[in-house]
Amino acid sequence: MRFWERPKKEMVVDIENDEAGEPFIRMRTRLFIHKGKITNYVVQLEHLVGEDWKQVIRFNCYHGIVHKDIYNMDGRQVRKVDMGSFSDLKDAVDFATNDIRGRYKEYIRRFYKEIQGRRLT
């Protein structure tokens, strides 16, 4: 790994907390920056299941393609969705952040449907 491939900025934001105020849904963002520009990123929705944080949805541009990975409870990727092209990766990060904030309940619902053997729609 080259020095610029290490995350330069990482943030974890709680999206929803339980009655005791403990987070059980959160969004993690990692930005990889080189010479002031985002060169790669990860924005993922995580859900606390028992004592483990499970990734539900992950947006990134690994392999040079902006996409969304959809995961099941076992941590296996069940689908990859091409998100098209963005002229600037900052726009892709903003899109991913807004998408997760606006649709996290739907993503969590689908996460649980997938483990019950139902197909994701």
75: phi > 0 → left, psi -120 to 50 → alpha, else beta; which?
left
Using CA atoms, how far residue 112 sits from 65, 70, 84, in Å, is 27, 12, 27
**Which is higher by pLDDT, 116 or 29?**
29
pLDDT, tens digit, for every residue of 26-85? 999 999 888 888 989 999 999 999 999 999 999 999 878 899 999 988 888 988 898 988
Q: What is the pTM (predicted TM-score) of this model? A: 0.85
Check pLDDT > 90 for residue 23: yes
Q: Which pLDDT does position 1 carry in this prediction?
A: 45
